[in-house]
Amino acid sequence: MVKTLNRRKMLAGVAGSLTVLPLAGCGESQGMRNVLDRAESLTQYAQRLLLSRHSLAPEFTEADISPDFRANGSTDPDDPAYVSLAQSGFKDWRLETGGLVNTPLSLSLGDLRAMPSRTQITRHDCVEGWSCIGKWKGVPLSEVLQRAGLKPDAKYIVFYCADSLDEENGDKYYESIGLSDAYHPQTILAYDMNGAPLTVPYGAPLRLRVERQLGYKMAKYIMRIEAVSSFRRIAEGRGGYWEDRGYEWYAGI
Amino acid sequence: MSTQLEQTSSAPAVSAGVPQLTYRHAVIVRVTHWVGVVCIAILLMSGLQIFNAHPALYLGQGSDFAHPAVSIGTEQKNGREIGVTRILGWTIDTTGFLGLSGKHDGDEHAFPAWLTLPSYQDLAGGRRWHFFFAWLLVFDGLIYLIWGIASGHIWRDLIPSARQTRHIGRSILDHLRLRFPRGEEARHYNVLQRLAYLIVLFAVVPLLILAGLTMSPGLDAAFPWLAPLLGGRQSARTIHFVCAFLIAAFVFVHVAMVLLTGVWNNIRSMITGWYKIKPEPAADG
C-alpha cells in the first residue's frame, strides 16, 4: 500500500515535470512562471536556514582588487536633475530617508561621511556570471536606519535611483531588501570605491552594497530611501527594476 | 527487488538458445532515471542560456576580462563577421554553431538558439528553469541515493566485483570491437558500465553541484571555505561548465550504447524493468 502510494506520487511528479516541456518552446505562460517561481522560495528558505544573520561575505586583500572593475547597468544617467547635481560635484545632493520612519532625514554627503563608516574589500558577482573585486567605504545602512527610527510595521527598505536603463519608458531603477539584509554589518551605503570618491559609472554619489546577493541588488545613484511594509504597489510590484523584468527578488544565488 | 534477483539467479542458466526475461531495474531506478533525464536535459539547455549571458570562462576569484580561459564571440575576418571560439590561446572558426548561428549565420549567440532554453536570449528565464529543475534533481538524486544505499543496489550492482576488475582489459577490448555481453554476463552491468555510472554519480555530479553552489554569493557567506576550495568563484564557474560538458559526453556515449546493444530491449527494461537476455552463441558455431 505504502509502496503504491509512493509510486503514484512519484509518477505524478514525473508527469508534472513532463507537462512543462512542451511549454518551453512557446515561451512561458503565467501558470508555468508560477510553478518555476516556487524554486525561488525554496532557495531563499534554504539559504535563510544556512545563513546566520551575521555570516559575512568573504573579504579580500588590497592585492586582490580587480584592475578592471566592470561598471554594470547604467553608467551615465541622463536625468536632468542628476546631471546638474553631478556638474556641481553633488554638493546640493541630499539622501532623503522617509516612509515608515519616526524621523525623516535629509543627509548631505558631508553628513554621511561624518557618520561611522565601514571599509570592505569584497567580490561583486554579476547575475551574468562575471565577478570583480573592489574596495568600498561607506556608512552602514543600519546607522541611517537607527537615526531615522523604523516604525514597527516597516519590513523592507526601498532604494530609489536617478537612472533609467530603459530610455523608451523611462522607468527609474529601484531596489528593495529585507530587514535582515538591511541591518547586516556589510550592508553599506558606499561613497568611496578603491580609496577615491565614487565616480559616475560606479554609481556616484552613493550606491548600495549588499554583499551576500548579486550585483543587480546593489542600487547605484541613490536619491531616496523609503521604509515600507510591502513593495506590491511600487512600479510592477516585484520589488525592483530587474525583479519587474523576471529576475528573482532574493538574489542569493 | 531482492526477491526478484534471487528468483533470476536461481533460474536455470541461459544457454539453451532461448531468450530469457530478467527483472533488471527496480521501480525506483526506473522512475528516478526518467525524472533525471528530464532534469538533466533542461539543466544542460538552460545552463547554456545562462552561459550565453556572459560567454567567457575564467580562473580565480574575479574575471580577468582581457584573458579568459575560454570565450565565444565574433570577429571580423576578410571583411565578414565570423563566429570564433577561443580556448587557452587557440582560436577556432566556429561559424554556424558557436558565436554565429541560425539563418544565414545571423544570430550572435554563443551557443545556438536550438541548444538553449528558452531559445531566445533570456537570462532571467534560463535561471528560473535552471534552479527549478536543479531542486527537482536534488530530490530525485536523494531518493535514488538513499534507496540505493539502503537496498544494497549501489554495492551489488555498481561496485565492480573482484572478478570483473580482473577482466577489465578484456571488457575494454570487447567494447572496442562492439562485442557486448550475452547470456549470464548480461544479467548484470559490465565493469565499464559500472565504472562510468560510479564516476558520474560520485565524482562528476558532486563536483558539479559543489561548483554550482560556490557561484552563490549567499552560500559563499555561509561557507567561507567553499570558494577557496575550488580556486575561486570564477574557477568554480569554469569547473561547473566542464562537469556539465562531461555529463553531456556521458549522455552521448550512454545513448550510443543503448542504440548499439538493442534499443527496444534497453528502453523496455528501463520502463517495465524486464530485460531480455540474448543466449550465448552456441559453442559449435
Domain boundaries, chain B: 2-55+116-277, 62-110
Which residue has cell 575561486?
Answer: B232
B128 and A37: CB-CB below 8 Å? yes
Percentage of residues of chain A with pLDDT beyond 70: 89
Q: Which residue of B has its CA nearest to A253?
A: B216
Q: With a cut of 60, say whether residue B284 has pLDDT above it.
A: no
| Domain span including residue A173 | 58-245
A42 with A107, same domain: the answer is: no
Q: What pLDDT score was predicted for residue B62?
A: 97
CA distance, residue A133 to nearest chain B CA (Å): 6
Angstrom CA distances, B166 to A15, B171, B196, stand at 43, 10, 17
Q: What is the DSSP letter of A63?
A: G
Give A-chain residues touching B38 at CB under 8 angstroms. Answer: 14, 17-18, 21
Question: Could you read off the pLDDT of B109-155 as tens digits, one per residue?
Answer: 999 999 999 999 999 999 999 999 999 999 999 999 999 999 999 99
A149 with A233, same domain: the answer is: yes
A198 with A109, same domain: the answer is: yes
Q: Which of B42, B123, B125 sits opposite A127 (nearest CB)?
A: B123
Q: What pLDDT score was predicted for residue A25?
A: 47
Q: For residues A200-232, b (16+ Cβ closer than 10 Å) or e, as one string?
A: bbbbbbbbbbbbbbbbbbbbbbbbbbbbbeebe
A64 and B222: CB-CB below 8 Å? no
Chosen from B50, B57, B61 to mutate, greatest number of chain A CBs within 10 A: B61
A246 and B53: CB-CB below 8 Å? no
B221 and A39: CB-CB below 8 Å? no
B38 and A17: CB-CB below 8 Å? yes
A28 with A113, same domain: the answer is: no
Percentage of residues of chain A with pLDDT beyond 90: 80
Domain at B2-55+116-277: CATH code: 1.20.950.20
CA distance, residue A107 to nearest chain B CA (Å): 31
Provide the H-helix boundaries in chain B. 2-10, 27-53, 123-151, 153, 162-166, 168-176, 191-199, 205-214, 217-222, 226-229, 233-260, 263-272
- What's this model's pTM, rounded to 2 decimal places? 0.90
Cross-strand pairs, A189 = A139, A208
Q: Which residue of B has its CA nearest to A49?
A: B222
B217 and A213: CB-CB below 8 Å? yes
Q: What pLDDT score was predicted for residue B4?
A: 42
Q: What pLDDT score was predicted for residue B9?
A: 44
| Cell representation of residue B20 | 530469457
Residue B109, Cβ density class (10 Å: 0-12 exposed, 13-18 middle, ≥19 buried): buried
Confirm if A193 and A134 have CB atoms less than 8 A apart.
yes
* A252 within some domain: no
Give B-chain residues touching A246 at CB under 8 angstroms. Answer: 122, 124-125, 128
Q: With a cut of 60, say whether residue A11 has pLDDT above it.
A: no
Confirm if B186 and B193 have CB atoms less than 8 A apart.
no
**pLDDT (mean) for A115-135:** 98
What average pLDDT does chain B have?
A: 91
pLDDT band, very low/low/confident/very high, at B16 (cuts 50, 70, 90): low
CA within 13 Å, CB half, B228: 8
CA separation for the pair A173, B204 (Å, rounded)? 41
CA angle B31, B33, B37 (to 5 degrees): 120
Judged by average pLDDT, the poorest of A46-50, A187-191, B3-7 is: B3-7
CA separation for the pair B242, B236 (Å, rounded)? 10
Residue A57 or B5, more confident: A57
| Cell representation of residue B104 | 544565414
Give A-chain residues touching B227 at CB under 8 angstroms. Answer: 58
Confirm if B110 and B98 have CB atoms less than 8 A apart.
yes
pLDDT band, very low/low/confident/very high, at B8 (cuts 50, 70, 90): very low
Question: Could you read off the pLDDT of B151-179 as tens digits, one per residue?
Answer: 999 999 999 999 999 999 999 999 999 99
Give A-chain residues touching B64 at CB under 8 angstroms. Answer: 68
Prediction ipTM score: 0.88
| Cell representation of residue A77 | 544617467
Q: What pLDDT score was predicted for residue A27?
A: 55
A213 with A236, same domain: the answer is: yes
What average pLDDT does chain A have?
A: 90
**pLDDT (mean) for B67-79:** 95
A17 and B128: CB-CB below 8 Å? no
Q: What pLDDT score was predicted for residue B1?
A: 37
Total domain count, chain A: 2
Q: What pLDDT score was predicted for residue B278?
A: 81
Which residue has cell 580565480?
Answer: B60
A39 with A68, same domain: the answer is: no
Give B-chain residues touching A245 at CB under 8 angstroms. Answer: 124
**pLDDT (mean) for A146-154:** 98
Are β-strands A222-228 and A95-99 bridged in parallel, bridged antiparallel, or unpaired? Answer: parallel
B217 and A56: CB-CB below 8 Å? no
* A250 within some domain: no
Give A-chain residues touching B61 at CB under 8 angstroms. Answer: 60, 64, 123, 131, 133
Q: What pLDDT score was predicted for residue B10?
A: 43
- Cα(first)–Cα(last) distance of chain A, in Å? 40
Q: What pLDDT score was predicted for residue A28?
A: 64
B128 and A123: CB-CB below 8 Å? no
pLDDT band, very low/low/confident/very high, at B280 (cuts 50, 70, 90): confident
A115 with A157, same domain: the answer is: yes
A24 and B135: CB-CB below 8 Å? no
pLDDT band, very low/low/confident/very high, at B282 (cuts 50, 70, 90): low
A20 with A133, same domain: the answer is: no
Residue A1 or B240, more confident: B240
* A79 within some domain: yes
CA separation for the pair A165, A135 (Å, rounded)? 25
CA separation for the pair B132, B130 (Å, rounded)? 6
**pLDDT (mean) for A209-236:** 97
CA separation for the pair A134, A162 (Å, rounded)? 23
Sign of the dihedral defined by the CA atoms of residues B243, B223, A128, A235, in that order: positive
A139 with A40, same domain: the answer is: no
Q: With a cut of 90, say whether residue B32 has pLDDT above it.
A: yes
A133 and B61: CB-CB below 8 Å? yes
pLDDT band, very low/low/confident/very high, at B281 (cuts 50, 70, 90): low
CA within 13 Å, CB half, B83: 20
Indicate which CATH number applies to the domain containing A142: 3.90.420.10
Question: Could you read off the pLDDT of A158-179 as tens digits, one per residue?
Answer: 999 999 987 777 899 999 999 9
| Cell representation of residue A226 | 523609503
Angle between helices B27-53 and B233-260 (to 10 degrees): 130
